[in-house]
Amino acid sequence: MKKINQRQVEFDCEDIFPKRWSPRSLSPEVTKEDLMKCFEAARWAPSSYNGQPWRFVYAINRTPAWDILKQIPNEFNQKWALNAGALVLTVSRKTFAYKNKPNIHYAHDTGAAWMSFALQAEMQGLYTHAMAGIEYEKAKELLKIPEDYEVLAMFAVGKMGSKDSLPQDLKDKEAPSQRKPVSEFTFEGVFQADKPEEKKDE
Amino acid sequence: MKKINQRQVEFDCEDIFPKRWSPRSLSPEVTKEDLMKCFEAARWAPSSYNGQPWRFVYAINRTPAWDILKQIPNEFNQKWALNAGALVLTVSRKTFAYKNKPNIHYAHDTGAAWMSFALQAEMQGLYTHAMAGIEYEKAKELLKIPEDYEVLAMFAVGKMGSKDSLPQDLKDKEAPSQRKPVSEFTFEGVFQADKPEEKKDE
């Protein structure tokens, strides 16, 4: 079976899935038009009752909006993400428009829209890298995000840059990550929890 | 700009995104090999600290596993979903393997894996339709899903079937759904909440 990006493919899916990965060495050539095509892909994601809870706040490097969004990655992520072409904050509405009822699927559905963005980016020759390490409270304050919305993540977008732009520790880690085998997360008609041993892993 | 599936595309993304939609008239020709390719696509989704929280419990129509999973869609969804080729329950681990620490991104990341599955299915000529309307507690009991996992959704997979398999009310609704314009969910450097008028919509 094929190997893509040093990733061994077990079952023959389309190449775009193992081809997409999350480098930190990003270069700043991203245009608004580039982003719009990716948002268009995200737009067509499915969602519970077609609620479309995803919201994206973006900034392109060296524009006024950048000065706001660049404050949101944490100290660790600022070391590499500020070289990217764009930063996008993923926000999600926690309620439906209809009577403001709670939407229990907002994070799941917003993750689906984010994945569509990342795959469209990949097909345009762009790379994305999502960050959990961001200042959530600061993002809410800076952007005046009301209580019925949640800040879920941030991601950087760029062309592939030079590894030399990275600090040494990140340069050493710069490679596509591996995954557990399909048999460890799919089950036919039964559910199997992870073995307790795995919980003790360091 | 192009129109695909009666969907007007605003920015020129790849066709697979507007092409993917969620019919209810599904036919039961799905093999385990078909599913495995889709799980392979899901496998390569990115996740916070590469935690890979997604788990999928599946059943193919007319197999012993089907008799378990077919009990999970609610009454409304049983009317159409039980004609499909496969049912897949989307489950997510809420903690990291590392010290069992809480993973705040489990639903977002599992949504990303689900989107990869749905797009791979589309590229194989299969259709998927996710359901929010399922018996969550029953699913947990039937499959003995422990507390550190959450049942997020279920989806049906199949080839395109005949509309005539659907009850009249669903037959009338069988069409790709529309989306809000890109300008309503993307913002440059500012955040804009939905207008309050929209919250009163019926």
Cβ <8 Å between A58 and B132: no
- DSSP β-ladder status, A3-4 and A7-8: antiparallel
User: What's residue B1's pLDDT?
Assistant: 83
User: Structure tokens of B12?
Assistant: 């020129």
Residue of A nearest to B90 (CA): A186
**Does position B37 have pLDDT exceeding 70, yes or no?**
yes
State the DSSP code for B165: G
User: What's residue B197's pLDDT?
Assistant: 58
What are the pLDDT digits (tens) for A124-136?
A: 999 999 999 999 9
Low-confidence ranges of chain A (pLDDT < 70): 197-202
Chain B residues with CB-CB distance to A90 below 8 A: 108
Residue among B68, B108, B144 whose CB faces A189 most closely: B68
Min Cα distance A164 → chain B (Å) is: 23
Residue with tokens 């990140």: A170
What are the pLDDT digits (tens) for B40-68?
A: 999 999 999 999 999 999 999 999 999 99
Residue of B nearest to A184 (CA): B55
Enumerate residues 6+ apart whose C-beta is below 8 A from A67: none
Chain A residues with CB-CB distance to B71 below 8 A: none
Enumerate residues 6+ apart whose C-beta is below 8 A from B156: B26, B80, B81, B84, B86, B87, B88, B128, B129, B131
**CATH 3.40.605.10 for domain A13-176:** no
Residue of B149, B80, B155, B175 whose CA lies nearest to B113 = B155
Residue of B5, B13, B57, B72 best to disrupt the A interface, most CBs of A under 10 A: B13
Residue of A43, A144, A198 best to disrupt the B interface, most CBs of B under 10 A: A43
Instruction: Please report the ipTM that was assigned to this predicted complex.
Output: 0.96
For chain B, the average pLDDT equals 95
Cβ <8 Å between B112 and A111: yes
Residue of A nearest to B41 (CA): A17
Cβ <8 Å between B110 and A108: yes
What are the pLDDT digits (tens) for B175-202?
A: 999 999 999 999 999 999 998 755 454 4
Strands (E), A19-74: 26-27, 54-60
B85-97: burial string, b at 16+ Cβ within 10 Å, e else: bbbbbbbbbebbb
**Does position B39 have pLDDT exceeding 60, yes or no?**
yes
Cβ <8 Å between B188 and A57: yes
Chain A residues with CB-CB distance to B46 below 8 A: 20-22, 118, 130
**Does position B24 have pLDDT exceeding 90, yes or no?**
yes
Backbone CA torsion sign across B3, B110, A83, A143: positive
Residue of A nearest to B22 (CA): A46
Average pLDDT in the B14-43 region? 97
Residue of A nearest to B20 (CA): A44
- DSSP β-ladder status, A149-160 and A127-131: antiparallel
A126 — contact with chain B (CB < 8 Å)?
no
A1 — contact with chain B (CB < 8 Å)?
no
A48 — contact with chain B (CB < 8 Å)?
yes
pLDDT band at B165 (very low <50, low <70, confident <90, very high): confident
The architecture (CATH level 2) of B15-168+175-188 comes to 3-Layer(aba) Sandwich (3.40)
- How long, in residues, is chain A? 202
**Domain edges within chain B:** 15-168+175-188
